[in-house]
Structure 1
Amino acid sequence: MKDEGHKPNRLIDEKSPYLLQHAFNPVDWYPWGDEAFKKARKEDKFIFLSIGYSTCYWCHVMEREIFEVPEIAEIMNKLFISIKVDREERPDVDRIYMQALQMMTGSGGWPMSIFMTKDLKPFWGGTYIPPESNYGRPGFVELITKLDELWRNNRDELNKSAESLYSVLTEHQASDAPTKLPGAEVLDAGYKVFESMYDDTHGGFGNAPKFPRASTFNFMFRYAARTGNEKAKEMTLQTLRKMAEGGIYDHIGGGFHRYSTDERWHVPHFEKMLYDQGQLVNSYLDAYQLTGDEFYSDNVKDVLNYISKNFTDENGGFYSAEDAESATDPDNPDIKAEGAFYIWSQSELMELLGEEAGKLFAYYYGVESSGNVLEDPHNYFPGKNVLYIAHTLEETASEFDIPIVDLKSALDESRIKVYDHREKRMNPHLDDKILVSWNGYMISAYARAYQILHDDGYLLSAERAAHFIKLNLYDAKEKILLRRFRDGEAGIEANLSDYALLVAGLIDLYEASFNSDWLEWADELNDLMIERFYDNKSKAFYDTPEDSENLIVRMRDDYDGAEPTGNSIAVMNLLKLSQILDKSELRDKADGILSYYSGILSKSPHALPQMLAAVDFSLTKPKQIIIAGKIKSDDTKMMLQTLHEFYIPNKVVIHSDVENEENYMNKNLEIVKYMKMIDGKATAYVCENYACKLPTNDLDIFVSLLDGRSKL
């Protein structure tokens, strides 16, 4: 937020870091809401809707080139009403206009620039718009001047265009649900598409730019487990390895950047998003379960250490993002560049580390005197290096003729020095709002990391985040979940993804802690989600409640991208809770959702890999693994540790609490009451549809009952 002598606009009263960044623009910005809409109607003006987020590089560029320029702002203030929206706060608004933009132009992105009528129907859209016209494209001033002329002199045509697009938007959301459940054929078809997209050399599914789409990894590991297809597993493991070795991973501070601009996972777009960290931790945990290779578990520990240091509020919630750009000179904090915090010249590293350690470090991380960025069309990185693992430990040890143990020690020491030196630079902007949906990812990640890696601190982090949300963002009396917390204030009604991802995290937290309070809250939230978002006609969820205001279309996503759709997460929750609580009505609703999406799954299975994972679960007899024992006893912990050595994706884990028969699980699932410890020892019951094999407290027998699935 920069105060350059301008009077603040209405955004000064907002909580969003993105909106506050624009609070001193000379543009007369309004937040999304009735005040702006009424003014547009009263003054008979069209609306400019600008949607972005605080760590968006091109959003910053457009602000500097257009919104901070008084002469351009004066024209904007005269011609139309300008509205700013943080897409992370208002994904409901973002989703509608992104769909419209893609229909208008065939592509999308941020900043999103939409011009629309007084009744919020879009008639022109784009992304970043340069200030000056070039290459046959109109600049911003030329564009808005032409649109104003059309608004004044040819409004019927604009309205006709807006109505036509609106009709297509509504029709796209109104399709009736097919009645046929998807079968294993959609899993086979999805695998074949991903196999055809696979990059044999560098890993990943598709061409540059390459995104770490965790839902694809989730599906591919499940497909390998279902079919025994080793290639599905190996492609995914190779992709995860190449990502962790590449520049898309921060080898000094930890955490994944948003995406790679090249096919080698080398040069990233440097912003870091909470939702990537949470989802990818789960992917690397799966990889560790499947292989026992500490390369993957070390990555998990590194990412979670980064989140604990950089993204964790003192009261337990998790922040949202770190920016891609930062100041290049501490004395000029407003002069920023992409990746400035993360890149290095060879001379800088050699001076810092000394010749011997510097040469080791440079060889291992691919540092070159002329810089190692092969493709730099914007000339962002002249003479600079993006660190990546250029040579293995074995290759490096051989090159310098030193034992690997000494090499590891030297690299660790150098990384600490580089980290400490980097901390003296201006840190990238941190978006410190706390979002329920993205916290759901991290609750799941920390809970599963505790299950598999047995670090008590991970469970504590998951529980603190869940407590934070329950205390600050949930009204237990009114049964209302809010989406965003920042600067002491909760706000914005939660959407489908908030409910679904929080429920998913709470299910994982219950299975990690056996604290049935978390399961009880998950069940309560799931019921509220059904009440507010479920559509009895289509048999699927909408993304927003029926009573949402100022939304021209009630949307329903059909693509698992950087984040899975709310329906893809919700259907897995329904399948799991139906197994945990023996509620057949939840299975019926899950089947309805899968039927609704069966058409898309048949035509484009790769569009919904997280939904494919749910199809996999639905076609399996999932294991119900019930542990009767004292929560904190060593034998209960050992049984759970043994269980989590295996990759068994289609399972639920239930606790029969012998110390508290009044807990939520015991009161809501009759069969659990009869599952007791044998000979005073923690005892496992391995069941399918609650038809159970003989109970055992022998770990070897327990392992045999788990079918000997992939084990550490």
Structure 2
Amino acid sequence: MPNRLGHETSPYLLQHADNPVDWWPWSEGAFEAAREAGRPVLLSVGYSSCHWCHVMAHESFEDEATAEYLNEHFVSVKVDREERPDVDAVYMEAVQAATGQGGWPMTVFLTPDAEPFYFGTYFPPEPRAGMPSFRQVLEGVHSAWTERREEVAEVAGKIVRDLSEREIAHTGERPPQEDELAQALLGLTREYDPQRGGFGGAPKFPPSMALEFLLRHHARTGAEGALQMAQDTCERMARGGIYDQLGGGFARYSVDRDWVVPHFEKMLYDNALLCRVYAHLWRATGSALARRVALETADFLVRELRTEQGGFASALDADSDDGTGRHVEGAYYVWTPAQLREVLGADDAELAERYFGVTEEGTFEEGASVLQLPQQDGFYDAERVESVRARLLAARDGRPAPGRDDKVVAAWNGLAVAALAETGTYFDRPDLVEAAVGAADLLVRVHLDEQARLVRTSKDGRAGAHAGVLEDYADVAEGFLALASVTGEGVWLDFAELLVDHVLARFTDPATGTLYDTAEDAEPLIRRPQDPTDSATPSGWSAAAGALLGYAAQTGSEPHRAAAERALGVVAALGPRVPRFIGWGLAVAEAYRDGPREVAVVGPSLDDEASKALHRTALLGTAPGAVVAFGTPDSDEFPLLADRPLVDGAPTAYVCRNFTCDAPTTDPERLREALGGL
């Protein structure tokens, strides 16, 4: 019998709609039911491409006996963390504070007033490796609830008080200075893995935001060590198993330090961020590998994640059918030598084994290998290799594909808009820019309401029920600002203005300038979430600082620049201490230290070759965070174009920063010298 999840838009919730567990979505009705029945609430949080979420669902939530016990003693609430990042953040903070670790699936037991009192992540169906079984946990919680209710209430109240009293420590009083950015670079250098690239040990995550900081720091200061760390990390990842050597795009993370075996889920946000990083690396160095990876990742986004409505789906699952009916992690992506021979024949299979690092022993499970590029491409005949790759990709397309989470998340689509707009422009791929415009159009049509308030998610062109959070407003504004620079269409600047004004009005503490992850009029939770540190994506706080700074540079708005400066105070405090976890804030700080530079290009149209050359040169500049406006001298779409005439009747570029302007130029080479880049 279906439960209450059947009418939800979240693919993750819909995956549980036929469970025998009597699930509720997060709602007041669920907690009212718990109060009326006098039962505790089981809160289970996950997401659709989470491997261990699927495992726990199969082992416990599809089990009739477990479901019967849950339905008798608990009110069970299922939450998609990607749809409700605010709920996830609040209770994950509690889990981490209590246990010292966190992850998904997240399992939290609450009072009917939503106060947490017992925590965990995955629980097995039987006791295992020191973990109690899920049934033992349920029985223990039920016993505590029925026999020691006052003690449970006391614990829950203390947890809530502790959480509510937490403040963002050391928010800082000013943006980072040179010495603090240098300390952040030194901190990254200390944690850098010189043999393998990246930072820290296993599991190893793509450090997208730290890489952006390193590229910007090198562009501004000339620090070669920063560029070397970025280059080496990008090459190691691109040659490793974390990168899909056939279809492009990156998996979520590597389970080992060498980037060999990934956790195979592919997330929109990772690929949007990394597409942009590799495009920026190419812009700085001209690297052929960076160009290839940026384009292949962009093509992956469009080919495999774009929805019929023009937005981008959230993720591809790690698991898929292995062809025998088993649902296995990585089955879609891995190869054995026998499988290579079946597709390619003996001679080309031997080449593929060497080229992609496939062995009889395997690098993954059951003798299968994750494809890598352990050697330089120059050792092989390029035409033959391309034929091998194309045939393997075609054969792989015949395998059962991983599931796709089709919900469109506003923030992640904003990141994709920025990546595709820039990548398409750099490499003369108007189809990619068109894809960026299509996603931006969907965000305007479906995710923005009449008050220009963002909805967090949509599916099949239908807006979800949940309000956007800070990262949604900031990342979508970032995408719109990038699109404005690339297309020369001021309407995207207008849409960005609506969003950053909401950031000022509804997400900012007027007394301190600090930022909250939820709006002041959002659904109240046990704590208003507020976290300036990056996780898998830029923090809403850092992303908002970047969007505010970029908008201020485009318009000259002092209130927006002042808000960006206040927001960057936390980067001054945390950057020297934990640079890996505030990389986007450090990248924004580099833009702030550089100005950022404001580039106005005036000309008849982007169809005019001289105008196009100046505009393209401006966009290829490596000056951190530079903003670009294009239009005719009499255009009122961009404030930067005001009083910018043609020089001698020719298209002209103006470069300014900190209220000082260079002499205007009609020469792309002089503009390149002013901005850096290829």
589 and 466 in structure 1: CA distance in 2 versus 1, 3 angstrom threshold: same
Matches within 5 A, 1:271-420: 271-329=265-323, 332=325, 335-373=326-364, 381-395=365-379, 397=380, 407-420=381-394
TM-score where L is the length of structure 1: 0.92
TM-score where L is the length of structure 2: 0.97
> Could you tell me how far apart the structure 2 residues matched to 1:133 and 1:519 are?
56
Contact 2:411–2:475 (8 Å) recurs in 1: yes
Matches within 5 A, 1:450-599: 450-475=424-449, 477-491=450-464, 492-596=466-570, 598-599=572-573
> Could you tell me how far apart the structure 1 residues matched to 2:186 and 2:248 are?
33
Contact 1:248–1:267 (8 Å) recurs in 2: yes
- For 1:642, the aligned partner's letter is T
CA displacement 1:588-611 (0-9 Å, x = unmatched): 111221225543335434331111
**How much does 1:550 deviate?**
4.5
> Could you tell me how far apart the structure 2 residues matched to 1:484 and 1:202 are?
37
**How much does 1:151 deviate?**
0.6
Please, which of 105, 114, 118 is the counterpart of residue 120 of structure 1? Answer: 114
Find the counterpart in structure 2 of residue 4 from structure 1: none
**How much does 1:137 deviate?**
2.4
Find the counterpart in structure 2 of residue 80 from structure 1: 74
Find the counterpart in structure 1 of residue 644 from structure 2: 675
Find the counterpart in structure 1 of residue 672 from structure 2: 703
- Root-mean-square deviation (Å): 1.6
- For 1:533, the aligned partner's letter is F
* Residue 607 (str. 1) matches residue 591 (str. 2): no
- For 1:481, the aligned partner's letter is L
- For 2:456, the aligned partner's letter is R
Matches within 5 A, 1:2-401: 7-173=1-167, 177-329=171-323, 332=325, 335-373=326-364, 381-395=365-379, 397=380
Please, which of 680, 687, 692 is the counterpart of residue 661 of structure 2? Answer: 692
Contact 1:182–1:598 (8 Å) recurs in 2: yes
- For 2:60, the aligned partner's letter is I
**How much does 1:677 deviate?**
1.4
Contact 2:216–2:622 (8 Å) recurs in 1: no
> Could you tell me how far apart the structure 2 residues matched to 1:597 and 1:605 are?
9
* Residue 644 (str. 1) matches residue 619 (str. 2): yes
> Could you tell me how far apart the structure 2 residues matched to 1:564 and 1:247 are?
24
- For 1:700, the aligned partner's letter is E
> Could you tell me how far apart the structure 2 residues matched to 1:178 and 1:160 are?
35
> Could you tell me how far apart the structure 1 residues matched to 2:58 and 2:214 are?
43
Contact 2:184–2:577 (8 Å) recurs in 1: no
- For 1:705, the aligned partner's letter is A
Secondary structure in 2 matching 1:535 = coil
- For 1:284, the aligned partner's letter is Y
174 and 646 in structure 1: CA distance in 2 versus 1, 3 angstrom threshold: closer
Secondary structure in 2 matching 1:172 = coil
Larger mean CA deviation between 186-195 and 45-54 belongs to 186-195
**How much does 1:165 deviate?**
1.4
> Could you tell me how far apart the structure 2 residues matched to 1:704 and 1:453 are?
20
Contact 1:258–1:269 (8 Å) recurs in 2: yes
> Could you tell me how far apart the structure 2 residues matched to 1:304 and 1:177 are?
36
Contact 1:186–1:612 (8 Å) recurs in 2: no
- For 2:553, the aligned partner's letter is Q
**How much does 1:180 deviate?**
4.2
179 and 202 in structure 1: CA distance in 2 versus 1, 3 angstrom threshold: closer
- For 1:349, the aligned partner's letter is L
> Could you tell me how far apart the structure 2 residues matched to 1:183 and 1:424 are?
54
- For 1:583, the aligned partner's letter is S
> Could you tell me how far apart the structure 2 residues matched to 1:514 and 1:222 are?
24
> Could you tell me how far apart the structure 2 residues matched to 1:478 and 1:290 are?
40
Task: Name segments (4+ residues, structure 1) moved above 6 Å.
Answer: none
466 and 101 in structure 1: CA distance in 2 versus 1, 3 angstrom threshold: same
Contact 1:656–1:676 (8 Å) recurs in 2: no
345 and 705 in structure 1: CA distance in 2 versus 1, 3 angstrom threshold: closer
**How much does 1:372 deviate?**
2.9
- Which blocks of at least 5 consecutive residues in structure 1 are unaligned? 1-6, 374-380, 398-406
560 and 155 in structure 1: CA distance in 2 versus 1, 3 angstrom threshold: same
Matches within 5 A, 1:614-625: 614-625=588-599
**How much does 1:702 deviate?**
2.6
% same residue: 36
- Which blocks of at least 5 consecutive residues in structure 2 are unaligned? none
**How much does 1:620 deviate?**
2.7
